[in-house]
Amino acid sequence: MTAKNLAIKISNLILSKKGYDIKIMDIKKISNVADYFVICSADSDTQVKAIADEIQDKLRDEGIKHYHIEGYDSLNWVLIDYFDVVVNIFKLDTRSYYNLEKLWSDAPTVTVEDKPA
């Protein structure tokens, strides 16, 4: 699976748990950290955990394991590192504070829209 396809798959998993304001940032030309950042917001600790668990569980079922995870204890900002794709799940206030979109504003960014039912 390509990094771009993985980022899209992760975005769909976020949507399945009602994560919102999802951005896929293509950072491969401006950083060697990863190829893509996937960023989303959640309203509560419970939702942050549910999104993180869904991503890890569904990808593990496909044989894709994360390299590293941070923030799972506090649930304000959970970072899941899949080498080429880094997932950032934020509670809204924390996302506003760190403002990764501004920090990486040179990166081409796609906003993922929730599809109406």
Query: Which pLDDT score is estimated for 18?
Result: 94
Task: Quote the pTM value.
Answer: 0.91
Query: Which pLDDT score is estimated for 56?
Result: 96
Q: Which domains does the chain have, with CATH numbers?
A: 3-112 (3.30.460.10)
Residues of the chain with pLDDT under 70: 115-117
DSSP one-letter string for 4-65: HHHHHHHHHHHHHTT-EEEEEEE-TTT-SS-SEEEEEEESSHHHHHHHHHHHHHHHHHTT--
Q: How far apart are CA 100 and CA 39, in angstroms?
A: 8
Query: Which pLDDT score is estimated for 115?
Result: 62
